[in-house]
Amino acid sequence: MVALQVLTLFKIWMVNGECIDGGITGAHFVQNVTVNSLMNLYDKSWNEEVVRQVFSVDIVDKILHTPLIAQVQEDRLIWKVERHGWYSVSSAYMLCVDELVDSSHLWRPGYWSGIWKLKVPPKVKNLVWRMCWGCLPTRVRLLDKGVQCPTNCVSCPSHHEDLAHVFFNCPFVVKVWQMTGLWGAIQHALSYTTSATDTIFLLSIEFNQQLSSTFWSIWKHRNLRVWDDVMEVSATVVERAKNLVVDWKFANVPTVADPIPQQRLQPSAREGILAAIGTSTFVTSSSWQHHLLGRYKCNIDATFSSHLNRTGVGICIRDSEGTFVLAKVVSYP
């Protein structure tokens, strides 16, 4: 280990046999000296004569005051940044960021952890994160980056579509926030901040699923208008945000997915599934829950028959009242 420390000193103060910063005094002498020449290996002490010939006075003092541990018989590679001593690219990157590179100008204060703790789909977290970093491709932002494009808002007569306008200042968006009941809190945050990013971070103190999902739905509305020329009313934007949260909660319920209840299937559909999977039994459950009015729910289940060496998949679609709509059976040999 000590040999590695000394070798590091060689690398720092010696490049191509030339002295750097006065660290090595006898550059021509170093060419014939190995690392173990600096130590008396038998009694674990420094070879002071050689050390003084190679290094300058200030470096000699540091080397001679470095203890040589008698219990250490063999040197081994140690990466000090990791607890287990193994090198990793990620730890090397963090070392460069924290100690070698001044990255203070890149740091932005804010409640970053609150964004990643949101109980929403990852795409919503990513959107909010991009909003806070100011890297969302609004038209003004694109123009700043050299992309030639119009800067007008697609939802109102404004000719300045920046982050603040898209999410807070556009009259269409104001109607959306008013319908959610969050407009009062947003106005309060806007009165205490000077930028859209600061407003988002201030709101993040009370971040909830409805707020973040509405951000996503507003951006979805903007993109549908820009790329597909789809016209939406504010109620549609609000409803999409609500459905996003509801669907996310359903998808993350810590239970096994609901199987297809026998009593909800028409006889022909149930018999078809049983025939396809090659089994005489089918797991039933009465825990099926009604979905939102006007929407459909698709249940999927699969099984494998070791006797027939076949896999069966059953699919059933029902409306919000649980009424059978359509079913399909697929069998794979």
Predicted pLDDT at 9: 47
Q: What percent of the chain has pLDDT over 70?
A: 78
Mean residue pLDDT across the chain: 79
Taking the C-alpha atoms of residue 50 and residue 6, their distance in angstroms, rounded to an integer, is: 13
Predicted pLDDT at 22: 42
The number of residues in the chain equals 333
What pTM was computed for the model?
0.54
Task: Read off the pLDDT of residues 82-104 as tens digits, 9 standing for 90 and up.
Answer: 888 899 999 998 888 777 777 66
On whether the CB atoms of residues 47 and 38 are closer than 8 A, the answer is yes
- Return the sign of the alpha-carbon dihedral for residues 147, 121, 202, 171: positive
Nearest to 214 by CA among 200, 230, 228, 195: 200
User: For the residues 67-91, what does the mean pLDDT come to?
Assistant: 84
Q: Which of 46-50, 180-184, 201-205, 312-316 has the lowest mean pLDDT?
A: 201-205
Name, in order, each residue with C-beta under 8 angstroms of 163's C-beta and a sequence gap of 6 or more. 131, 134, 136, 138, 141, 196, 197
Task: Read off the pLDDT of residues 137-181 as tens digits, 9 standing for 90 and up.
Answer: 999 999 999 999 999 999 999 999 999 999 999 999 999 999 999
Residue 17: pLDDT over 90: no
Predicted pLDDT at 173: 97
Predicted pLDDT at 28: 58
How far is the CA of 13 from the CAs of 39, 55, 56, 297, in angstroms? 19, 9, 10, 70
Q: Residue with structure tokens 């952890």?
A: 113
Q: Residue with structure tokens 């939802």?
A: 155
Task: Read off the pLDDT of residues 202-220 as tens digits, 9 standing for 90 and up.
Answer: 887 777 889 999 999 999 9
Predicted pLDDT at 150: 95
Strand extents, DSSP E, the chain: 14-15, 18-19, 39-40, 45-46, 297-305, 310-318, 324-332
Q: Could you tell me which residues are beta bridge partners of residue 45?
A: 40
Look up residue 78 and give its two tokens.
Answer: 């140690």
The dihedrals phi and psi of 301, each to the nearest 5 degrees, come to -145, 155
Nearest to 119 by CA among 247, 245, 291: 245
User: For the residues 191-196, what does the mean pLDDT come to?
Assistant: 90
Which range of 1-5, 78-82, 186-190, 247-251 scores highest in mean pLDDT? It is 186-190
User: For the residues 51-60, what does the mean pLDDT come to?
Assistant: 88
Task: Read off the pLDDT of residues 219-237 as tens digits, 9 standing for 90 and up.
Answer: 999 999 999 999 999 999 9
Look up residue 41 and give its two tokens.
Answer: 């290996």
Look up residue 281 and give its two tokens.
Answer: 């039994």
Residue 265: pLDDT over 70: no
Taking the C-alpha atoms of residue 50 and residue 149, their distance in angstroms, rounded to an integer, is: 69
Q: Indicate the residue type of 18.
A: E
Taking the C-alpha atoms of residue 331 and residue 333, their distance in angstroms, rounded to an integer, is: 7
Taking the C-alpha atoms of residue 107 and residue 88, their distance in angstroms, rounded to an integer, is: 24
On whether the CB atoms of residues 193 and 132 are closer than 8 A, the answer is no
- Residue 120, number of CB atoms within 10 A of its CB: 24
